Amino acid sequence: MAVIEAKNLTKRFRVADKKPGLWHTLKHFVNRRYRLIEAVREVSFSIEPGEIVGFLGPNGAGKTTTLKMLTGLIHPSAGRVAVVGQTPFQRRHDFLHQITLVMGQKQQLIWDLPAMDSLKINASIYRIDPVEATRRIDELAGMLDLGEELQQPVRKLSLGQRMKAELLAALLHRPRVLFLDEPTLGLDINAQASVRDFLRAYNRQYKATILLTSHYMADITALCPRVMLIHEGKLMFDGSLDALSARFAPYRELNLEFRHEIAREQLESYGEVESAGGHAASLIVPRDRLTHILDELRNGFDVVDFTVTDPPIEQVIGRLFRTGSLEAAAL
């Protein structure tokens, strides 16, 4: 039975429509105009227990709004949603005991006190016996490689240590479902890797279901066998990373080695030049024109060697985000 189920989930926001300037400010004061924004449009999916799913999309795509509906923070405008068999926005205690939401850019720990004090509050709110709470804190701190840091004021911790302490606070009640919104935001590479390792271990140990949004593709490739891609509020893709690559990357990477030095401008008519310098160059070319372009290059230049590879998933998704349009990304 699915642990998260969304059916035609929709969220519309009414936002004030006001142009800049004094005149428009006065006009807006007497005659307010609003427009309706559809942040999430008829999104449907289901997630099984123990799955780790990456939720991808450019900024403003509707990822966080969806997470907020799944956690019960906001009410959907239409559609149905069930998490652990409950309706999130009713925010029943039984439901709240089973979920958590970690927001990379927001913190729940009390800034001026050691994280341990916030953990004490969480333990009492979730009715965790003090002995059991200490056992869990020790266990999670071990997995997160946290020690003395828990006794230091939160404001004195590094960003990485702080995020680990936030994770500990969010997981103290051992939730079955984790909603993670950019949990590695701003962390250095080591801290990112450490958070990823922890999430993987937590998922294995507690069979927890994880829905993760991240702009760091390393998070997605390392943790998520399944990804969902949302764009302008619509779910565009739901499947494996390989399937995503095949669908949204109908192009290949062509790495060339020339006998003579070559300039970038000489190659621009053959495809998108990723890099060019000295005797080597790398081009992105449409998959269906690969043979034709390769023939043309071999006729026009003295090609010593070449290799053809699929672009890495980071590049595929990065390209989707950069262009801001899935259609454009498909070359």
Partner 1 sequence: MKSFAHKLRTITGVQYAALLEYRAEMVLWVAGTVLPFILMGVWMTASAKADLVLQPVEMARYFFATFVVRNMTLVWVVWEFEQQVVKGTLSHWLLQPMDPVWRHFAEHLAERFVRLPILVVIGVVFFAVYPDALWTPGLWDIPIALAAIVLTFIMRFSVQYTFAMLSFWTERAHAIEQLWALPYLFLSGMVAPLALYPQAVQQVLVYTPFPYLIWYPAQKVLGLPTAAGSVEVTLGMAVGVMAFWTLVFILANRLLWRIGIRRYSAMGA
The residues that touch partner 1, with contacts defined as CB under 8 A, are 13, 64, 68, 71-75, 89, 91, 93, 96-97, 99-101, 103, 106, 108, 110, 112-113, 117-118, 120-127
Nearest to 137 by CA among 114, 162, 120: 120
**Length, in residues, of the chain:** 331
Calpha distance 10→41 (Å, rounded): 5
Nearer to partner 1, 74 or 330 (CB): 74
Nearer to partner 1, 104 or 271 (CB): 104
Nearer to partner 1, 120 or 174 (CB): 120
Angle between helices 130-144 and 115-125 (to 10 degrees): 130
Q: In what order do the strands lie in the sheet with 99-103?
A: 99-103, 177-181, 209-213, 52-56, 226-231, 234-240
Number of H helices, E strands in the chain: 13, 13
Q: What angle do CA 155, 129, 73 make, to 5 degrees?
A: 60
Nearer to partner 1, 113 or 290 (CB): 113
Ramachandran angles phi, psi of 178, nearest 5°: -110, 125
Question: Do β-strands 34-47 and 99-103 pair in parallel, antiparallel, or remain unpaired?
Answer: unpaired
For residue 212, the minimal CB distance to partner 1 (Å) is 17
For residue 269, the minimal CB distance to partner 1 (Å) is 46
For residue 220, the minimal CB distance to partner 1 (Å) is 22
Calpha distance 167→162 (Å, rounded): 9
For residue 11, the minimal CB distance to partner 1 (Å) is 9
What SS3 class is residue 209? strand
For residue 111, the minimal CB distance to partner 1 (Å) is 8
For residue 140, the minimal CB distance to partner 1 (Å) is 18
Nearer to partner 1, 77 or 315 (CB): 77
Q: Which two tokens stand for residue 48?
A: 């099984």
For residue 241, the minimal CB distance to partner 1 (Å) is 29
Calpha distance 179→150 (Å, rounded): 23
For residue 304, the minimal CB distance to partner 1 (Å) is 55
Please say whether the dihedral angle defined by the alpha carbons of residues 267, 282, 189 and 66, taken in this order, is positive or negative: positive
Q: What angle do CA 177, 38, 15 make, to 5 degrees?
A: 110
Calpha distance 77→315 (Å, rounded): 35
Nearer to partner 1, 112 or 295 (CB): 112
Nearer to partner 1, 3 or 317 (CB): 3
Nearer to partner 1, 71 or 184 (CB): 71
